[in-house]
Structure 1
Amino acid sequence: MFAKEAYKGTLEEQYTTLSKQLDALLSGEEDLIANLANASALLAQFLDDVNWVGFYLLKKEGLVLGPFQGLPACVRIPVGKGVCGTAVERNETMLVEDVHQFPGHIACDAASRSEIVIPIRQNNSLVAILDIDSPLLARFTEEEQRYLEEFVTVLEKHIVL
């Protein structure tokens, strides 16, 4: 069901399939960590040219590392610092073509060149972020941003805090 070959067709069709698979995969499960772990694994399998896919959970002291696929990562990120902390501070998606040009970039993985960070909300409050890094410059497009935001919307239906 989750084989890479299942993703054929236009980019829109591929992401529609991905979101449907996420919904099916998480259906009936309420554990936050299990759902985030499966979501990160599904994205890591689906996306080409990425070196890190995961989640940071918003706690009182800032962002704390959650389930992910990739090399070991920064455990804590203050709100307002780096791409992830800036996404929380602004409460909006951050699409960064070259992280080395981003003021205050936190280099958890020196191989990362571009990044997208998408807020995850529950009851209109930001509770976590999805963070995806790539070793390629300008890896993520605005079109992909929209589809990844739709993926997060599906994920939000399965988030129970």
Structure 2
Amino acid sequence: MVEVSNLYPNDKKELYALLNSQLKALLDNEPDVIAGLSNASALLMGALKDINWSGFYLMKRGELLLGPFQGKTACVHIAVGRGVCGSAVLKDEVQLVTDVHEFPGHIACDSASRSEIVIPIHYNGTITGVLDIDSPLTCRFDLNDKEGLMEFVTILEELLDWSFS
């Protein structure tokens, strides 16, 4: 795991307020999706405690394709409906999984991962990708994470140029 700076507050509402402010500053006048998602994954990896992977999968030719990320190597292709990421796309809803070993069809890209949160990303009403974050701890993510990361994704949706998708 990456050591997290002590500059980030322990209170999750304060943490996400700061992260979302930092994301807006990072994306100011930089609409490129790859550059923006690269910085967004690095921002999350450096700020969130107890995570071992942070990144994005983008929709391409009807499946999820690995995008910018921080962490160990990852699965490159994920079918819609398969695993936590594919389920988020199929259902078009956030997947907050407290123990991935209990999730039917979980894809174990990193056997150390125990919990996961996946948030769909939309462009023009269609899912264009997902934000995926893994943790080596069970029950790492809660409703505060869900709320803060949904706002994080909304910022990405609004400030990046998704017209490539």
**By the TM > 0.5 criterion, same fold?**
yes
Number of the residue aligned with 1:47: 48
Q: Kindly report the root-mean-square deviation, in angstroms, between the aligned alpha carbons of the 2 structures.
A: 1.3
Partner Cα separation in structure 2 for residue 132 and residue 10 of structure 1: 19
> How many Å apart are 1:91 and its aligned residue?
0.4
CA contact (8 A) 2:24 2:155 kept: yes
Number of the residue aligned with 1:16: 17
Three-state SS of the structure 2 residue aligned to 1:19 is helix
> How many Å apart are 1:140 and its aligned residue?
0.2
> How many Å apart are 1:143 and its aligned residue?
1.7
> How many Å apart are 1:9 and its aligned residue?
6.5
The equivalences for 1:84-103 within 5 A come to 84-103=85-104
Partner Cα separation in structure 1 for residue 66 and residue 10 of structure 2: 34
Partner Cα separation in structure 1 for residue 136 and residue 9 of structure 2: 24
Structure 1, unpaired ranges of 5+: none
Three-state SS of the structure 1 residue aligned to 2:66 is strand
Three-state SS of the structure 2 residue aligned to 1:110 is coil
> How many Å apart are 1:115 and its aligned residue?
0.2
Partner Cα separation in structure 1 for residue 127 and residue 139 of structure 2: 26
Number of the residue aligned with 2:107: 106
Structure 2, unpaired ranges of 5+: none
Number of the residue aligned with 1:60: 61
> How many Å apart are 1:8 and its aligned residue?
2.8
TM-score, length-normalised on structure 1?
0.94
Number of the residue aligned with 1:35: 36
Three-state SS of the structure 2 residue aligned to 1:66 is strand
TM-score, length-normalised on structure 2?
0.92
Identity of aligned pairs, percent? 56
Three-state SS of the structure 1 residue aligned to 2:44 is helix
1:128 and 1:16, CA in 2 relative to 1: closer, same or farther beyond 3 A? same
CA contact (8 A) 1:4 1:45 kept: yes
Three-state SS of the structure 2 residue aligned to 1:18 is helix
Aligned residues: 159
